[in-house]
């Protein structure tokens, strides 16, 4: 989605390219010769980063219904994480989890051993914190493996540029690459997009996104006996090099889904934010963020993020058009419960107890419930592309989504307007030697003389975030 909708020619092109977004699985019933899985028909999968989401992605990989899959190796840096993930997967999937002790790898080079155990055309899940994404993806390409990588895929400008190059390299080798922005695979959101493209809410004139929850991204002081690197990784949402902080890790979804509906990436951002109640937490996040993203035609996305106990929760995104309005997300990612309303009065939905929603005279359309989870759709679509050799590479747009999210984060952290070009060409790489990290070596972030990690200071630190 690199088209610029402010340019009439490219906008027309964009609209004609995207007027009917069909689910990638719409072609699933068409008989095409299977390519990579020809010999055994079973696609082998390995998991790098066996935490919460990595394990969830492995569950989705083993649950696809469009052909057999098998988990054959796992890698992590924390034994307890790897063991509990293995136990969970084994108890749920039995023989589909064929990961004997000798294929459970530990350490910062474990990813290599896990990928070395695969034959080309198999699939690797990259489920670590995003700092390692380019390192692991590069190795997967060398090994000619298809990849499923979690979002964000980058946390700064320099690694985004690197990821763009890797994305092209993967395409040149016909590797299929998925990025865990699963909402893109949600059939309810795809149908909403079709309707927006068809003009059902008119021109989008504003969008709103909210990710406001009871907390997140804090870090108590490091236990004395824990190596610095392992501490920072164990609290990766706390440190910008590891995750991009809560801003990148949590907020990317709303920024991505709104930009998808708009059909463009924002070209600049300005934002506010501050720490209010973080006490002795060692993390680099703010409690509140409020960022305006500006699209090429001047349309704004108003995004609010808050991590604050006792305050109101909201986890939703909305598009306002010249003829009506749309709900892109309600109460989290899934189910989407996408809707279109006459006018601009979108009824507030506070919690799941209010579902199903009561009849509303302004409701024009709602996607029928229940919906299948987009976490499963994204795997069905990836496997369909692998088995039927369809072009499939989400890494460039995943990197673009990560980059514009970093643009908003940097705007709030520096107190300056940050443009797409500025963040793209930024020279501040947060963890330049992340590919050489060792558990006992120096961490990418060092304590300052005051015993704290360097913090963003809007208006004071203006050329880099910390
Ligand atoms: N798409 C979504 O909705 C969604 C939801 C949750 C998390 N995520 C993403 O998934 C990723 C992981 O998040 P999580 O919540 O599962 O965290 P987690 O801490 O539960 O899992 C991360 C795992 O990676 C391991 N790890 C860290 N560095 C490693 C390395 N160099 N090599 C191998 N293993 C390493 C950790 O020990 C841990 O087990 C993040 O990028 C996050 O944004 C996406």
The residue ranges of every structural domain in the chain are 24-183+376-393, 187-366+404-436
Ligand 1 neighbour 180 (Cβ under 6 A) = yes
- Give the pLDDT mean for 37-57: 89
Q: Which residues are CB-contacts of 111 (< 8 A; sequence separation ≥ 6)?
A: 48, 75, 105, 132, 135, 136, 139
Ligand 1 nearest atom to the CA of residue 133, by list position = 41
Please, what is the Cα angle at 59 between 122 and 190, to 5 degrees? 90
The residue whose C-alpha atom lies closest to atom 5 belonging to ligand 1 is 53
Ligand 1 neighbour 130 (Cβ under 6 A) = yes
CA distance 254 to 329: 8
Question: What are the structure tokens assigned to 143, written together?
Answer: 């090994």
Ligand 1 nearest atom to the CA of residue 181, by list position = 1
Using a pLDDT cut of 90, give the percent of the chain over it.
Answer: 91
Query: Of the CATH numbers 3.40.50.720, 6.10.140.120, 1.10.10.10, 1.10.540.10, which one belongs to the domain with range 24-183+376-393?
Result: 3.40.50.720
How many A from CA of 162 to the centre of ligand 1? 21
Q: Is the pTM of this model over 0.75?
A: yes
Q: Is residue 398 a contact partner of residue 147, using CB atoms and an 8 Å limit?
A: no
Ligand 1 neighbour 408 (Cβ under 6 A) = no
Q: Is residue 217 a contact partner of residue 246, using CB atoms and an 8 Å limit?
A: yes
Helix 52-63 vs helix 79-93: crossing angle, to nearest 10: 20
Among 74, 94, 72, residue whose Cα is nearest residue 83: 74
The residue whose C-alpha atom lies closest to atom 8 belonging to ligand 1 is 53
Ligand 1 neighbour 303 (Cβ under 6 A) = no
The residue whose C-alpha atom lies closest to atom 31 belonging to ligand 1 is 108
At 19 the pLDDT is: 34
Ligand 1 nearest atom to the CA of residue 243, by list position = 41
- Give the pLDDT mean for 216-240: 97
The yes-or-no answer to whether 24-183+376-393 and 187-366+404-436 have a common fold is no
pLDDT tens, residue by residue, 375-395: 999 999 999 999 999 999 999
Query: Is residue 11 scored above 90 in pLDDT?
Result: no
Query: Is residue 28 scored above 60 in pLDDT?
Result: no
The residue whose C-alpha atom lies closest to atom 38 belonging to ligand 1 is 51
Ligand 1 nearest atom to the CA of residue 55, by list position = 16
Ligand 1 nearest atom to the CA of residue 236, by list position = 19
Question: What are the structure tokens assigned to 216, written together?
Answer: 């997140």
Ligand 1 neighbour 129 (Cβ under 6 A) = yes
> What CATH number labels 187-366+404-436?
3.30.360.10
Question: What are the structure tokens assigned to 158, written together?
Answer: 């320099």
Residue to mutate, 47, 50, 52, 315, ligand 1, most ligand atoms under 8 Å from C-beta? 52
Using a pLDDT cut of 70, give the percent of the chain over it.
Answer: 91
DSSP string, 125-164: EE-S-GGGHHHHHHHHHHTT-EEEEPSP--SSHHHHHHHH
Bridge partners, residue 318, by sequence: 208, 327
Confidence band (pLDDT; 50, 70, 90) for 25?
very low
Ligand 1 nearest atom to the CA of residue 54, by list position = 16
């Amino acid at each position: 989605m690199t088209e610029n909708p402010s340019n009439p020619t490219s906008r027309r092109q964009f609209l004609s390219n995207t007027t009917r977004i069909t689910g990638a699985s719409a072609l699933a019933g068409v008989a095409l010769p299977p390519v990579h899985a020809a010999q055994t028909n079973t696609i082998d999968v390995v998991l790098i980063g066996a935490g919460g989401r990595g394990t969830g992605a492995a569950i989705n990989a083993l649950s696809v219904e469009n052909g057999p899959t098998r988990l054959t190796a796992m890698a992590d840096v924390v034994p307890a994480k790897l063991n509990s993930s293995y136990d969970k997967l084994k108890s749920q999937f039995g023989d589909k989890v064929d990961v004997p002790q000798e294929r459970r790898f530990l350490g910062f080079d474990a990813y290599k051993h896990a990928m070395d155990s695969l034959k080309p055309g198999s699939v690797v899940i990259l489920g670590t914190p995003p700092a390692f994404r380019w390192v692991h993806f590069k190795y997967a390409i060398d090994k000619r493996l298809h990849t499923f990588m979690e979002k964000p895929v980058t946390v700064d400008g320099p690694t985004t540029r690197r990821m763009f190059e890797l994305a092209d390299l993967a395409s040149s080798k016909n590797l299929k690459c998925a990025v865990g922005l699963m909402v893109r695979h949600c059939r309810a959101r795809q149908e909403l997009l079709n309707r927006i493209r068809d003009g059902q809410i008119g021109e989008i004139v504003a969008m709103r996104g909210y990710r406001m929850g009871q907390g997140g991204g804090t870090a108590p002081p490091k236990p004395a006996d824990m190596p610095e690197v392992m501490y920072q990784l164990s609290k990766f949402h706390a440190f910008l090099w590891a995750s991009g902080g809560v801003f990148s890790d949590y907020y990317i979804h709303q920024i991505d889904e709104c930009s998808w509906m708009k059909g463009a990436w924002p070209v600049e951002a300005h934002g506010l934010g501050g720490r209010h109640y973080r006490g002795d937490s060692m993390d680099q996040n703010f409690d509140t963020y409020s960022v305006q993203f500006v699209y090429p035609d001047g349309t704004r996305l108003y995004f609010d993020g808050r991590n604050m106990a006792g305050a109101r929760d909201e986890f939703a995104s909305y598009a306002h058009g010249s003829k009506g309005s749309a709900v892109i997300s309600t109460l989290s990612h899934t189910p989407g419960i996408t809707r279109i309303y006459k006018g601009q009065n979108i009824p507030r939905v506070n919690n799941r107890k209010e579902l199903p929603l009561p009849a509303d005279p302004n409701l024009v359309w709602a996607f029928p419930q229940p919906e299948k989870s987009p976490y499963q759709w994204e795997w069905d679509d990836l496997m369909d592309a692998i088995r039927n050799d369809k072009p499939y590479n989400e890494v460039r747009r995943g990197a673009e989504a990560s980059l514009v999210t970093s643009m908003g984060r940097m705007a709030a952290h520096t107190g300056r307007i940050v443009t797409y070009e500025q963040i793209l060409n930024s020279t501040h790489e947060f963890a330049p030697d992340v590919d050489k990290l060792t558990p006992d070596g120096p961490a990418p972030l060092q304590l300052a003389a005051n015993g704290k990690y360097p913090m963003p200071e809007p208006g004071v630190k203006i050329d880099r975030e910390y």
